[in-house]
Structure 1
Amino acid sequence: MLKVELIRPVPQLLAEQAERFGDKIAFRDDHRSVGYRELAERTRRVAGHLVAAGAARGDRVLIYLDNSADVAEAYLMTTRASLVGVCVNADAASAEIEYMFLDSGASVIITDRAHVAHARELARTGGATVLVVRPGRVDDALSYEELATSEPAGPPRDDLGLDEVAWMLYTSGTTGRPKGVLLTQRSCLWVVAACWAPIAGLSEQDEVLCPLPLFHSYALVLCVLGVFATGATERIMTRFSPGRVFDLLAREKFTILPGVPTMFQYLVHAARERPVDPGGLRLCLSAGAILPAALNAEFEAVFGVKLLEGYGITETSTMVTMNTVDGGRVLGSCGLPMPGVGVRLVDPVTGEDVGVDEEGELWVSGPNVMLGYHNRADATAEVLHHGWYRTGDLGRRDPNGFVTISGRTKELIIRGGENIYPAEVEAVLLKSAQIRDAAVVAREHPDLGEVPVAFVVAEEPGKLDVDALLGGCACELSKFKIPAEVVEIETIPRTGSGKIQRFLLQKRLTAPAG
């Protein structure tokens, strides 16, 4: 059931939560915690200072911070000044961050001491103002903390419309240069109201443990907007590690753990060497990439906690479909469409809807769909058609309406006329006790056109039995789907949401196979 009362401007929700929950903790990390009343006051003051300093409506603010409560606060603060929050991966290469800074046209950078030197370089290039979080002063930068604890000359705007741009998040960059996705308060809060509150049951009773990177839309919507809109409390991890997750679960009471499939894969592997204590966990949530059915089942068997998979992407403010706690579900499926969201599976060639159990490209319509790409009219026109967003993802729908994602249209490997979906091969590889992580990409072949190549991270580096691995594949895959080559690698390059950056792996395949 859609919880429409949650789809309101952030300032309104902040004011109500401050009154209702007072000093209850909203967000905490390794360094500090912030309560609901304090959150409302701090965001009011900083937004008021920026408005008084001349920040124009719609100006972009680059949020260049490590995972922390500061990120959550910055996301909410920008809406109060009617600015656009642009959160980036603080661990990205300097050139990538510079690209997103210049592409966004940000006039303000919020950063921390670990990144202030680079932020100042960017500011000199683009003429931006730098704010540094936490106590202390830095030359040529303002103290965010001083702004948050002193009264501004005037109030914040607090008038950003539900359908105006509120946040701009960059696509994962799995195939090249990322694009700025324009999201609104309505598009994001609709997902909270249609998915996280009614389906996951997120409420003021919950304590969320968040290992997700907050620069990603999955975390923005669930771990920032979902948490504060429902009155929950959240512990934000600076970085994910299985050992740290186990420590926190054993020491504190958490009810919800969101993650991406890779995180759950590593937790299962770590549990083989360490006793599992899920504490008070009632639910785990997975999105961002395909969750293999075998991993889903193994995680639930080891941890004794339900792991629900959903499907979403940045351009749809994350979630489109979701499995449910109490209703029927199909392991390996990403569930049913959310309330108010339309889903079609379309033949990419004919443009006609495909039938039950037939493969098609997933198209989405609804209030959660982005406004478009920042300064990319051509790219926007390519994917938005008469209210429908073409995701580029391929999938099927069973007779009961459950959707299963098979891969990306651009990732399809065609070997001698036969279609191979990397995700299917990866799911089989990950069943091997030898393998910690895997990715499959195409290598050019003079006769077959393309052949699949598997990059794998071994449990015991240097001791991989390739024949045994391929023998296992032969038991479950047609011969043409078996990798033509296996390459051992230290780590699979992934985005913050867990998506494989296949273009980086394909760069390693410089010579066609003979």
Structure 2
Amino acid sequence: MIHFELIAAVGEILRRNARLYPEKLAFEDKSRAVSYDQLNAETENLASQLVALGLRKGQKVAIFLPNSVNWVVSCLATVRAGGVAVPVSIDSTDAELSYRITDADCAFAFVQSARRQSGEALMRNLGRSTVLITEGPECDLPDFATLTKTRASEFEDDCDIDRPAYIVYTSGTTGQPKGVLLSTRSMLWVTAACWAPITGLNDKDVVLNTLPLYHSYALNVAVLSIIATGASEYIMEKFSTSHATELLRTGRFTFMPGVPTVFHYFLSACQTSGEKLLSSVRLCVSAGAIMPGTLNQDFEEFFGVPLLDGYGITETSTMVTMNWPGKWRVPGSCGLPLPGLTARLVDPKTGADVPFGTEGELICKGPNLMQGYHNKPQETQKAIVDGWYHTGDLARSDANGFLTITGRLKELIIRGGQNIAPAEVEETILLLEAIMDCAVIGMPHPMLGEVPVACVVLKSSAKFEEGELISHCKDRLSAYKVPDRIFIVSEIPRTGSGKILRVKLRESLPTA
């Protein structure tokens, strides 16, 4: 059931692939493509150059690049060199990038030439000596293309698959993103227990990747699982329905991962045009946010292609549950726990297991569990108790074990698969002089699932313009975190200890 042969060191996997199918396409983007032989050579060369530049085992390397072949090469080379890859969204503001560089203590960073100046300014302001490697030729900086062409010296791959190899940041309820420590073994265990046996991902598949690579979901299914299974992949820089439509018309693709929003937009566009573009696609998979059962049913009826929904979180190297192909699925359910992983639903107050059909907190234990939060031992101890990871998500199970996510103990807002911590947005809004108090909550959205809205209490006689607040947020937060609407309220309902009563606040607002 579990394909243990897929779990190996990155260098070992790439050398094997170069031997088995050297000319086969590994990854492609709008600018270039690499075969498995080229991928092995480029990552080996770059890894040796990183070591020559001074990278030591365990040092952190920020991957601050757009979705691309270069992103994949940078990440895999970092791991082969013994470094720890730290994916950073290319849409990050300077403040968000600064936090991750500082928190992870990055010694190196891959950046675009277009972001070189802001990267250097950031390093100066932080007083850091981080080595920047640019995608384009720069006379005084190491150049990505040059470094991938030749080996610096004798080089020995790092083969420790149990050490932390990735720090993937995820938003927490405190508003401060947490760096999740993941190993190559834990990540590839998900490949071996989920993507290979359940979805059948294999060396005959050609994958269309719609996901941002800095997410753990994409790092797992669209990078590591591709090389582990020997599949091929086209990497979209950013998802757009029109570009996906153009690519799918070629009939090349057999497998498409995404988030529910991607499938919602794609279905809507194809229903309008009448085109059924998935004739070559054997399977679509969704994770990252709750998928409505109606979307799943409508998608499969229109395209005639299975759309399998699963539930995953960064702290478990992505997947916890997955639906299997075939008719035995429960509408709205995220499926069954992965083989080899144990899941329970417990009363959040007592820790006792709840009966079938009763809502409880989902906790889980398995080989894919994170090694902890980087530099946050207390947060780690709260999250992992006696070996069980407490997800903070509420779910119900039927008598056959199918799980359905019903809500969250944590107050994360999930906008089209992107996690938003309300506290982070609130802290940003409270920097404005006119704001006395504020709360950010998620409101339903027909396409995105949820969007953040801000409720603000103004200081007496304060001058306030909604546009100023939006501009203030855009300057400091990624676009998906910026509130969609602003409500002026007289007070923010709170508990006696000061916690925001978000449910009560949500009920008091207009539903449109």
User: After superposition, where does 1:6-405 map in structure 2 within 5 Å?
Assistant: 6-124=6-124, 125=126, 126-133=128-135, 136-155=136-155, 157-172=156-171, 176-276=175-275, 277-326=277-326, 328-405=328-405
**Pairwise CA RMSD of aligned residues?**
2.5
- TM-score normalised according to structure 1 size: 0.81
Distance 2:174 2:302 in 1: 35
Q: Deviations over 1:322-379 (max 9, x none)?
A: 0011361112100000011110111001111111011111101111010000101111
Structure 1 stretch 380-389 or stretch 145-154: which is displaced more?
145-154
CA contact (8 A) 2:167 2:181 kept: yes
Contact 1:210 1:257 in 2 (8 A): yes
| Structure 2 length-normalised TM | 0.82
Is contact 2:393–2:407 with CA below 8 Å preserved after alignment? yes
Please tell me the residue identity of whatever aligns with 1:361: E
**1:292-348 CA-partner distances (Å, limit 9, x unpaired):** 001111111222211000000000000000001136111210000001111011100
Q: Contact 2:191/2:220 (CA < 8 Å) preserved in 1?
A: yes
Please say if residues 123 and 130 of structure 1, whose CA atoms lie closer than 8 Å, have aligned partners that are also in contact. Answer: no
- Tell me, yes or no, if the aligned pair for 2:278 and 2:303 is still in contact at 8 Å: yes
* Conservation of the 8 A alpha-carbon contact between 2:452 and 2:484: yes
Q: Is the 8 Å Cα contact of residues 254 and 279 (structure 1) preserved in structure 2?
A: no
State the shift of 1:510 in Å.
4.9
Q: CA deviation at 1:121?
A: 2.2
Per-residue Cα deviation, 1:392-419 (whole angstroms, up to 9, x for no partner): 0000110000000011113499xxxxxx
Paired with 1:181 and 1:8, the residues of 2 have a C-alpha distance of 21
Is contact 1:254-1:281 (8 Å) kept? yes
Contact 1:9-1:161 at 8 Å conserved across structures: yes
Q: Assess, with a 3 A threshold, how the Cα gap between structure 1 residues 224 and 330 changes in structure 2: closer, same or farther.
A: same
* Correspondence for 2:503: none
Is the alpha carbon distance of 1:141 and 1:443 closer, same or farther for their aligned partners in structure 2, counting shifts above 3 Å?
closer
Structure 2 residue matching 1:63: 3-state secondary structure: strand
3-state DSSP class of the match of 1:331? coil
Aligned CA distance change for structure 1 residues 180 and 508 (closer, same or farther; 3 Å): farther
CA distance in 1, matches of 2:88, 2:196: 26
CA distance in 2, matches of 1:150, 1:438: 47
On the 8 A contact 1:45/1:151 being kept in 2, the answer is yes
Contact 1:361 1:394 in 2 (8 A): yes
Q: Are the aligned partners of 2:108 and 2:132 in contact in 1 as well (CA < 8 Å)?
A: yes
Q: 1:329 to 1:175 in 2, by over 3 A?
A: farther
Q: Does the C-alpha gap of structure 1 residues 72 and 280 become closer, same or farther in structure 2, counting only changes over 3 Å?
A: same
Q: Secondary structure at the match of 2:113?
A: coil
Match of 1:462 in 2: none
Q: Measured at CA, do residues 324 and 105 of structure 1 come closer, stay the same or move farther in structure 2, by a change above 3 Å?
A: same
Partner of 1:394, secondary structure, is strand
Secondary structure of 2:249's match?
helix
Q: Does the 8 A contact of 2:26 with 2:35 survive in 1?
A: yes
Change (3 A) 1:70 1:412: closer
Q: How many percent of aligned residue pairs carry the same amino acid? A: 44
Secondary structure of 2:220 counterpart: helix
Q: Mapping of 1:453-464 within 5 angstroms? A: none
Deviations 1:105-154 (A, max 9, x none): 10111122232222222333321111112xx4224421011111022123
**Is the 8 Å Cα contact of residues 132 and 141 (structure 1) preserved in structure 2?**
yes
Equivalent residues in 2 for 1:466-477 (5 A)?
Answer: none
Q: In structure 2, what residue type is equivalent to 1:378?
A: Q
Shift of the 504–104 alpha-carbon distance from structure 1 to 2, 3 Å rule, reads: farther
Seen in structure 2, the aligned counterparts of structure 1 residues 74 and 349 have a Cα distance that, compared at 3 Å, is same
Offset of 1:443 from its aligned partner? 9.1
**Distance (whole Å) between structure 2 residues aligned to residue 132 and residue 509 of structure 1:** 45
Unaligned runs of 5+ in 2: 414-440, 456-476, 492-507
